[in-house]
């Protein structure tokens, strides 16, 4: 009797060892079980799982720009948003489709472009509200950098003191951001962080962005070029900011 008990204990102990034998890779970042990206719940769930980490829980107050900004939605066409979401933007915004390129880590690299488009439509339904689009349009334009420098001193330098932690001319900051990102920051501002959309004209904005881009350090001149990344299936990790 006691013997059987002991044997059972030992058996259980040995079987317990089985836990250590699970292939470690078995806990994997599974592609999100999207509960229908054509439903509001599906969109909310995918946003929470894939975007909220950087763009904020409800599309505001994230480390990256707010996606719930109605002005942004009114201005940006779907194609541009789909492109950024599918392929990524710079090194910090990962792509979420099979076409995803570069970035230190590839996100899900699993969605079809059609899924991304459906998702973006859902986001638009959730966040776009009526009103005028921003006058500057949606395409990044780079104007005259020297004009931009003067405009910057006049309109921006008071808040973005050079050399301070608020600087937007910090070479490291500029190395990490794309022209698209700079441009969006000026055109749409960061309403959630107390920065209103710019009141400058579209041409002036083009000049200011050109000025900031011209201050990007030479060692980051190729935009987001990096040595080949181990996790990237594509050895060519160079890429442009936007098509």
What does the binding site for ligand HEC look like in residue numbers (CB under 6 A)? Answer: 50-51, 53-55, 64-65, 67, 81, 84-85, 89-90, 92-94, 96, 155-156, 158-160, 166, 168, 177-178, 180-182, 184-186, 190, 193-195, 198, 200, 208
Binding-site string for another protein from residue 175 to residue 204, where x marks contact by CB under 8 A and - marks none: xxx---------------x-----------
Number of Cβ within 10 Å of residue 30's Cβ equals: 8
Quick one: 78 or 234, whose CB is closer to ligand HEC? 78
Separation in Å, CA 88 to CA 30, 83, 153, 188: 20, 7, 32, 20
Quick one: 42 or 94, whose CB is closer to ligand HEC? 94
Residue 61 binds which entry of another protein, ligand HEC, none, with Cβ cut-offs from 5 to 8 Å by kind? another protein
**Residue 41 contacts another protein per CB under 8 A:** no
Please answer whether residues 76 and 183 qualify as being in contact, where contact means their C-beta atoms are separated by less than 8 angstroms. no
Please answer whether residues 183 and 209 qualify as being in contact, where contact means their C-beta atoms are separated by less than 8 angstroms. yes
CA atoms within 13 A on the CB side of 177: 23
3-state SS class at 177: coil
Quick one: 64 or 145, whose CB is closer to another protein? 64
Residue 94 pairs in a beta bridge with none
Contacts of 14 (CB under 8 A, 6+ apart): none
What distance in Å separates the CA atoms of residue 222 and residue 229, rounded to the nearest whole number?
16
Alpha helices in the chain (DSSP H): 2-16, 40-46, 52-55, 70-75, 78-87, 113-127, 145-155, 171-176, 179-188, 202-214
Residue with CB nearest ligand HEC? 181
Quick one: 15 or 199, whose CB is closer to another protein? 15
**Residue 158 contacts another protein per CB under 8 A:** no
Q: Which residues bind another protein (CB under 8 A)?
A: 2-3, 6-7, 9-11, 13-21, 23-29, 48-54, 56-57, 61-64, 91-92, 94, 103-105, 107, 160, 163-168, 170-173, 175-177, 193, 217, 219-220, 224, 226-227, 229-231
């Amino acid at each position: 009797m006691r013997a059987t008990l002991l044997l059972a204990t030992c058996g259980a102990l040995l079987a317990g060892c089985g836990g250590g034998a699970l292939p470690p890779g078995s806990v994997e970042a599974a592609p999100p079980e999207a509960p229908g990206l054509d439903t509001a719940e599906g969109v909310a769930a995918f946003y929470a799982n894939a975007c909220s980490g950087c763009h904020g829980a409800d599309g505001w107050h994230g480390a990256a720009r707010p996606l719930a900004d109605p002005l942004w939605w009114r201005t940006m066409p779907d194609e541009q948003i789909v492109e950024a979401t599918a392929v990524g933007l710079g090194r910090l915004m990962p792509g979420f489709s099979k076409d995803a390129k570069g970035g230190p880590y590839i996100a899900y690299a699993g969605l079809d472009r059609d899924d991304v488009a459906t998702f973006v439509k859902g986001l638009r339904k959730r966040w776009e509200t009526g009103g005028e689009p921003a006058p500057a349009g949606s395409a990044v334009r780079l104007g005259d950098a020297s004009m931009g420098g003067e405009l910057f001193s006049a309109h921006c330098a008071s808040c973005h003191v050079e050399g301070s932690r608020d600087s937007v001319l910090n070479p490291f900051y500029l190395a990490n951001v794309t022209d698209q990102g700079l441009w969006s920051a000026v055109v749409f501002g960061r309403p959630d962080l107390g920065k209103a959309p710019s009141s400058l004209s579209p041409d002036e904005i083009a000049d200011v962005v050109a000025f900031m881009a011209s201050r990007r350090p030479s060692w980051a001149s190729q935009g987001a070029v990096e040595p080949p990344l181990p996790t990237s299936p594509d050895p060519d990790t160079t890429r442009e900011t936007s098509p």
